[in-house]
Amino acid sequence: MNHHRSFRGCLTVRARARRLMLGLVAVSTMVLGMAGMGAGPAAADTVIATIDVGDFPQGVAITPDGSRAYVANFSDNSVSVIDTSTNTELSTVPLGGGALPVGVAVLPGGSDVYVANAGAGTVSVIDTGTNMVDATVTVESGPSGVTASPVGPRAYVANSNSDSVTAIDTDTNTEITSVTVGDAPNGLAVTPDGSRVYVANNTDGDVDVIETAGNSVVDTVTVGNLPLGVVVTPDGSRVYVANASDGTVSVIATAGNNVIDTIGVGNSPSGVAVTPDGTRVYVANGVDGTVSVIETAGNTVVDTVTVGGGPSGVAVTPDGTRVYVTNRLDDTVSVIAVEQCLGSLCIDFGSLTGSGSGAGGVFS
């Protein structure tokens, strides 16, 4: 924060600066006292809230301003809208009988939420201003994963029963084309520049790479068994793929589309998400009831957080302070405060701020 003051105002600024320094010293003492001086263990990511949602929640996505989280309730045929400032369910959006929603994605502008309905073979478009369905796009059989392009009016849907990916024009909510991919596509993610889509083919154990300019598969990368979740790092250099049957995450270098690392995580990993700064990847382990935290610098698991039963979907807030995890067996969403470190000083900023969309580590 910039302060422009008179001489008397400068005294006020100095006093505030002194209080800030004392506050930081106090926090440092508190954290180091808990962690121990020097090489002692620091505070870990922590579950700070558990939110009741609908039956058998699957995918989760967060709006660009961080104010809302949208959760697909598979067995309820609905979407829960969570207010991240209070971590409570704000409303529920009905999708109609037999919808069976799985994947959720929010457009970059935050105006609409796209929900893949596995039972209906459709995508519901929810207006975030009204939290009502204002359009329905027919795709192919068994849509599961859905993702929005960071650039251009495009959304992509993985149709598990049709071995295809549908490209949707989000300006008109019409299908552009359908691209044939491998067997039982599930998770998918778009690169930051919008040029490629990475699609996990569950049965084939590989990832297809779609070039969006021509909407064609240009490469196929072999990963682990039963790949599900996919995420691309913010710099576009790597893709992380959760392999449910192997208990691993494959790391793909996008420069050559080759696997450069394989990371052991928990049992039956599915959902995967990356922090906005690209330093951490969060992986939901469906059988273990845990979330593995991967540090991308060394591709190592640095933490394991216990959540609810059958964790599935994962999403990180735009400010990187919180992670929202759907728990299928508990009908809940766990909220994890993300640990932030500066040298030996580590603080769960998500537990200090009042909102998941807040400014993070700001002291006053």
Average pLDDT over residues 71-92: 98
pLDDT at 71 over 70: yes
Per-residue pLDDT tens for 294-337?
999 999 999 999 999 999 999 999 999 999 999 999 999 999 99
pLDDT in tens, 330-360: 999 999 999 776 555 555 555 444 322 222 2
CA 280, CA 277: separation in Å to the nearest integer?
8
Give the burial string for 155-170 (b: 16+ CB within 10 Å, else e): bbbbbbebbbbbbbeb
What phi, psi does 288 have (nearest 5°)? -75, -20
Phi then psi for 181, rounded to 5 degrees? -125, -160
Please name the amino acid found at residue 294.
I
pLDDT: is 95 or 351 the higher one? 95
Paired with 115 in beta bridges are 104, 124
133 Cβ neighbours under 8 A, 6+ residues apart: 93, 95, 124, 125, 126, 127
Q: Distance of alpha carbon 347 from its chain centroid, rounded?
A: 21
How far apart CA 354 and CA 337 sit, in angstroms, is 11
Name the phi and psi angles at 348, rounded to 5: -85, 90
Closest CA to 267 of 290, 251, 250: 290
Identify whether the C-beta of residue 271 lies closer than 8 Å to the C-beta of residue 57: no
Name the burial class of residue 98, with classes exposed (0-12), middle (13-18) and buried (19+) by CB atoms within 10 angstroms of its CB: exposed
**Which long-range contacts link 206-209 to residues 24+ away (Cβ below 8 Å)?**
206/182, 207/239, 207/241, 207/250, 207/252, 208/181, 208/182, 209/257
Q: pLDDT tens across 223-236, in order?
A: 999 999 999 999 99
Predicted TM-score (pTM) of the model is 0.85
Distance CA 205, CA 174 (A): 30
